A and B are shown apart, each in its own frame.
Chain A
């Protein structure tokens, strides 16, 4: 089998990155209005995007594709104004996800859930400004949503809660992966696209 990434793989990659990003945004944008939901945003994102990602994995058989998807997702986040922390984190967690998937030969069901959960941790990049540049982001929230909103956001996000954010993304990613697997079996295999 040819193990180099070819044009067809790259097209698939772009296709699924769009699906991953658009479906994630469909969930993230309405929820982002409510400050107390910000910490669970990443987790919900990981839950719903499990569906396209599991379908994507049926087409990934080559090392590097998940890494590139991480970088591209980070780039898209950056272009939509969420900051560019997603790019390095996407590269790192994408690579880790790729390694896990490779160790399962891109076939193992357990490894694919674990790989997806690790890959999803790139979303932590979008939280970095909120945790490590607290004053800047308070000012930015205050200017655009009023000081009450800013206080609320900062109140629901003390420093230690980043651990909960990470754990939430991880756990929800695993459930998202299971959801994706179930839909895969129920619909996509039948429709002949998996």
Chain B
């Protein structure tokens, strides 16, 4: 994610254009259904379909390498998870099951979140939140959170590299010191960046009285409708799962 860019002009973007609210809905559907449901019956179909969503979106942005890596990783874990479920016995299969099922549960959500952050500018995000009539007290912190996830990971990588050069790494004598060596610089640099961001945003009129205008073109189109219908269908299948299994049982 270190190469994440923040497109400013809506018109210059590649790929399927979705409203930020639609992206949030997709993210919510993926994380909720992936995490809280079992692997039985119809969910065997719904889950792989859901995990294809970030793949399609990333592919449409022409980031082929990322898309391929994600697809291969997910497919491998999905297959291994099935293998482990069938031959479930003993410690090795338990470890395999734990690792693969965590991967298959988290990877789609993480990819969708990364896509959401990389493909949406902060302005678009604020515009969408304001359309949802959320109060400023939630919108501003949320957009800062949104802006800072990539920053935290970049800073963390930089600090890790610096520590490596000086020969400080995990597994040392004192794990508490280790935490201190990593956390303190991370917190200091993120807070400094935050202060600068805050000064920049305030001089550009954030928090000024009066209504903010927004240049971003935000609105629902055909692709948003399709994505929303897809989410509703997935939730419906999930909720109707017992009934579907019952009908299946009657027929079989």
Contacts and interface: CB of A to CB of B under 8 A. Distances in A.
Interface of B: prevailing SS: helix
Contacts of A80: 31, 109, 113
Contact of A18 (B37, B98, B148, B192): B148
Interface stretch (A1-9, A95-103, A157-165): A1-9
Q: Which 9 A-B pairs have the closest CB atoms?
A: A7-B207, A14-B144, A81-B31, A143-B38, A81-B35, A14-B141, A10-B140, A15-B194, A144-B101
Nearest to A145: B98
A146 B190 CA distance: 40
Contacts, number: 140
Interface residues on B, range: 35 or more
Interface string B27-42: 1100110111111100
Contacts of B187: 19, 51-52, 55, 188
Nearest to B208: A7
A85 B187 CA distance: 28
Contacts of B198: 8, 11-12
Interface residues of A, number: 49
Interface of B: 24, 27-28, 31-32, 34-40, 84-85, 88, 93-94, 97-98, 101-102, 105, 109, 113, 136-138, 140-145, 147-149, 152, 179-180, 183-184, 187-188, 190-192, 194-195, 197-198, 201-202, 206-207
Contact of B40 (A8, A143, A145): A143
Given A146-B88, A149-B97, 18 more contacts: A7-B202, A11-B144, A11-B197, A11-B198, A14-B145, A14-B147, A15-B144, A15-B148, A22-B149, A22-B152, A68-B138, A79-B113, A81-B32, A81-B36, A139-B38, A140-B37, A144-B39, A183-B180
